[in-house]
Amino acid sequence: MTLPAQACTLIATLNQSGYEAYAVGGAVRDMLRGKAPDDIDITTNASPEQMVDVFSSFRTIPTGLRLGTLTVLIDRTPFEVTTYRTDGTYSDGRHPDTVCFTSSLTDDLARRDFTVNAMAYHPSEGLIDPFGGQDDLNAGRLRCVGEATERFSEDALRIARLLRFMSVLDFTAEEATLRAAKELCERLTLVAAERKRVELTKALVGTGFEAAAVALPEVMGQLVPALRPCIGFEQYNPHHKFDVYKHTIRAVQNASNDLIVRLAVLLHDVGKPSCFKRDENGIGHFYGHPAVSRAIAERQLKELRFDNATTQAVLPLIKAHDIDLPADRKILKRRLQLLGKDGFERLLAVKEADASACRPDSVPPDFGEVRRLYKEILDADECFSLRDLAVNGNDLIVLGYPKGPLIGTILDAMLDAVITETLPNTADALTAYAKECWPL
Ligand code: ATP
Ligand code: MG
């Protein structure tokens, strides 16, 4: 395991002043897994004032100093250096009421959530691992440091972090840790929506998402309440072997690794339970569910404080997830008109994921011909939006049409005629068509 030079510099600087210092937490975990760490946190027995002193010739940002964290910049890369700390009692189920600085590295490691996140590393001393983190890492196992129910009761965010790390690391949870997370998952109501969103977002793009979400449906139901009615909801349909939740989770795992696609897949069927009907043969149907899913998803994404751009990219995919995508140029141009280029490509991904997760033997649909036609439409620069139309609103005003809603009506009709290939996309043809249908 080799620590990047900048982190070694920070540790050496503290050591030279007589303080202990170690890389800690996620960076150690990731390096042991052979993955370059995203960021490296340093822990030290130097007090906040002593750190400020030691790093007086460095650029520093004192934002977290009250809680013992000094951000030190080396070549513009920020490192968080934190005084060994223990956390006091937790009365809000989320934040410690007080933090205490300590002189013991082991005490600092003991406050951390999982054993794999509770290791420290020093370039010459090697690994410091008082809680068996390396064994758990090698076994692909997440285990709370100490008693799981106690740790999850202190800070409910750790329950969401468990699901996230199970997904991202593709790890399982040790039995007592899993049991405690299920038992205490309702405490996630104490966690701010933004924090839930962050953990959900990370979990969604993990390689172990399906296994994590199947192991912890209660936790998923807390993070995404819209999914709760889907859990265990049987479909009574020969095309569907799985309940709505299991189908959804499997489809997410099969989806391309793009957050917008995965969010759309996660929420594409949330309207199914409320649209469920069984016909005279006992077969289940869900007529109209895409629009209902869309409406529920809109509320859910808002509740989780997703940004508007993400939400507006996700919702049309949910609404459109069941529409046909035949290998037909005109229909594909209609779909492009509806969704735009990015949306169209994502819809292909959503549909592939959806169809691949209906039964254990599902094979994804073959969109080869659709993709070929799509590429042809793009290569030929064909028109499928008002933006591509050879005539715009101003042109119509210059021709003498009055400003107002009529302009929009004419443009829509022109676009329609071009997409259905009844008119070529040229200014002459389009103006002639306008004059004929809407004489001045
Ligand atoms: P990543 O940065 O890849 O998301 P990480 O493990 O570094 O993962 P951070 O949120 O950066 O996670 O936290 C750094 C370290 O702080 C963790 O490795 C863990 O030791 C500790 N930690 C973070 N959040 C908590 C928490 N809620 N409870 C206990 N320890 C925590
Ligand atoms: Mg980190």
**pLDDT confidence of 365, banded at 50, 70, 90?**
confident
- Which CATH number among 1.10.110.30, 3.30.260.10, 3.40.30.10, 3.10.20.30 corresponds to the domain 140-223? 1.10.110.30
| Three-class SS state of 319 | helix
Say if residue 162's pLDDT is above 90: yes
- Per the listing, tokens 């998923």 go with 220
| pLDDT 10s digits, 396-413 | 999 999 999 999 999 999
What is the pLDDT at residue 364? 84
Number of neighbouring beta carbons within 10 Å of residue 440: 8
What is the pLDDT at residue 148? 98
The per-residue b/e assignment along 140-178, b for 16 or more CB within 10 angstroms, e otherwise, is ebbbbbbebbebbbbbbbbbbbbbbbbbbbebbbbeebb
168 Cα distance to chain centroid: 11
Mean pLDDT for the stretch of residues 299-310: 98
What is the pLDDT at residue 324? 94
**pLDDT confidence of 4, banded at 50, 70, 90?**
very high
| pLDDT 10s digits, 78-133 | 999 999 999 989 999 999 988 899 999 999 999 999 999 999 999 999 999 999 99
| Sign of torsion over alpha carbons 160, 163, 167, 169 | positive
Say if residue 417's pLDDT is above 90: yes
Tell me if 13 CB under 6 Å of ligand 1.
no
- Per the listing, tokens 């409910």 go with 156
State the distance from the centre of ligand 2 to the C-alpha of 26, rounded, in angstroms.
5
What is the pLDDT at residue 21? 98
Mean pLDDT for the stretch of residues 45-64: 96
Number of neighbouring beta carbons within 10 Å of residue 37: 18
Say if residue 186's pLDDT is above 90: yes
Q: Which of 112, 164, 196, 202 best tests ligand 1's pocket when mutated (most atoms within 8 Å of CB)?
A: 112
What is the pLDDT at residue 174? 98
Please report the atom of ligand 1 found closest to the CA of residue 41.
14
Does CATH place domain 1-138 in 3.30.460.10?
yes
**pLDDT confidence of 385, banded at 50, 70, 90?**
very high
Question: Do 367 and 349 touch, CB atoms closer than 8 A?
Answer: no
Mean pLDDT for the stretch of residues 242-270: 97
Mean pLDDT for the stretch of residues 316-342: 96
E strands present in 277-338 = 277-278, 284-285
The CA-atom distances, in angstroms, between 319 and each of 256, 267, 306 are 19, 10, 18
Tell me if 155 CB under 6 Å of ligand 1.
yes
User: Number of H helices and number of E strands within the chain?
Assistant: 21, 13
% helix, strand, coil for the chain, step of 5: 55, 10, 35
State the distance from the centre of ligand 2 to the C-alpha of 204, rounded, in angstroms.
18
What is the pLDDT at residue 1? 83
Residue nearest to atom 2 of ligand 1 (CA): 26
Question: Do 43 and 101 touch, CB atoms closer than 8 A?
Answer: no
What is the pLDDT at residue 363? 87
Mean pLDDT for the stretch of residues 11-36: 97
Strand pairing partners for 74? 77
Which tokens hold the place of 279? 């016909």
State the distance from the centre of ligand 2 to the C-alpha of 153, rounded, in angstroms.
22
What is the pLDDT at residue 112? 97
Residue nearest to atom 18 of ligand 1 (CA): 25
Question: Do 120 and 40 touch, CB atoms closer than 8 A?
Answer: no
Residues with CB under 5 A from ligand 2 (ion): 26
Tell me if 146 CB under 6 Å of ligand 1.
no
Please report the atom of ligand 1 found closest to the CA of residue 202.
4
What is the pLDDT at residue 63? 86
Question: Do 71 and 60 touch, CB atoms closer than 8 A?
Answer: yes
Mean pLDDT for the stretch of residues 150-158: 97
d(CA 418, CA 433): 11
